[in-house]
Amino acid sequence: MLIVSYDITDDKLRTTFAKFLKKFGHRIQYSVYEVRNSPRVLRNIVTVLKHTYKKKFGGNDSVVIFQICEGCTKKTIKFGYPSTEDSDIIVL
């Protein structure tokens, strides 16, 4: 799993970046997304960050990507978070 946290001052750029991240995962807090990890997804996010967003960032803008191992994911404790987000739902 990846945790992507961002602090972007420009409203339009922040909204665009949030929509970009939504393609890969879901928002768990206002400026924090949980992304299912794969080497391809990480490469895609980093490539787009480098080539599209980095040049638009101001002096105080930042993006931090945390790679969380499977063992650490199981140790994560969540409060106030929908329990169905952690498991697959099958609708017939």
How confident is the chain (92 residues) per 10-residue block, as mean pLDDT? Answer: 94 96 92 90 95 93 92 80 55 60
Asked if residue 25 lies in contact with residue 5, where contact means CB atoms within 8 angstroms, the answer is no
Residue 14 CB neighbour total at 10 angstroms: 15
Domains of the chain with CATH codes: 2-86 (3.30.70.240)
Amino acid 71: pLDDT? 85
Amino acid 76: pLDDT? 80
Amino acid 60: pLDDT? 93
Reported in sequence order, the residue ranges of the chain that DSSP labels E, i.e. its strands, are: 2-7, 25-29, 32-35, 62-67
Amino acid 44: pLDDT? 95
Asked if residue 1 lies in contact with residue 25, where contact means CB atoms within 8 angstroms, the answer is no
Task: Kindly report whether the global pTM for this prediction surpasses the value 0.85.
Answer: no
